[in-house]
């Protein structure tokens, strides 16, 4: 029986290569342009008066966005289209994602779904949802006891 050396680093590298090939097969990353969906990054914060969402969606035109509020759920749908001036085979690398996306957010009942403002500037979609008057903080005055 021959004794062979065990190289744990080589085993890990082999495993990593196998996992990478699985993801490449799944994502279709074989040098061609694919219309893979993506999920834009979102910041969500609130203060006493409103809830604010900021979505990073550079390269998407306003007419390619669909924003809806239904049953206390805010949904944003859009599409980034691949606009190639060159043929696909002339690209060396394509890392930006193209295709459609869909994000939905459950809204608290304190949000007034009738009062939503949307602004789109420099690739950032900003949605402001005002809170209902009953949900906004108010100052309580202290009375004197008789």
Domain 34-83+96-135: give its CATH architecture.
Sandwich (2.60)
Q: Are 116 and 127 in contact (CB under 8 A)?
A: yes
Q: Which helix or strand (DSSP H or E) is residue 117 part of?
A: strand 111-121
* Rounded Cα–Cα distance for residues 57 and 53 (Å): 12
Give residue 25's pLDDT: 52
pLDDT in tens, 104-121: 999 988 899 998 999 999
pLDDT in tens, 43-54: 999 988 899 999
Stretch 50-79: mean pLDDT: 92
As a whole number, the mean pLDDT across the chain is 81
Q: Give me the residue spans of the domains in the chain.
A: 34-83+96-135
- Could you give phi then psi for residue 139, rounded to 5 degrees? -80, 135
Q: Which residues contact 23 (CB under 8 A, 6 or more apart)?
A: 29
């Amino acid at each position: 029986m021959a004794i062979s050396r065990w190289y744990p680093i080589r085993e890990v590298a082999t495993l990593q290569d196998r996992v990478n090939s699985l993801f490449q097969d799944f994502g279709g990353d074989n040098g061609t342009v694919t219309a893979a969906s993506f999920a834009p990054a979102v910041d969500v914060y609130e203060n006493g008066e409103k809830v604010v969402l900021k979505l990073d969606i550079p390269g998407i035109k306003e007419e390619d966005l669909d924003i809806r509020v239904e049953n206390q759920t805010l949904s944003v749908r859009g599409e980034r289209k691949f606009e190639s001036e060159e043929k696909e085979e002339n690209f060396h690398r394509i890392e930006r994602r193209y295709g459609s996306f869909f994000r939905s957010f459950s809204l608290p009942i304190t949000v007034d779904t009738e009062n939503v403002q949307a602004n789109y500037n420099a690739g950032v979609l900003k949605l402001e949802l005002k809170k209902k008057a009953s949900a906004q903080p108010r100052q309580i005055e202290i009375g004197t006891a008789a």
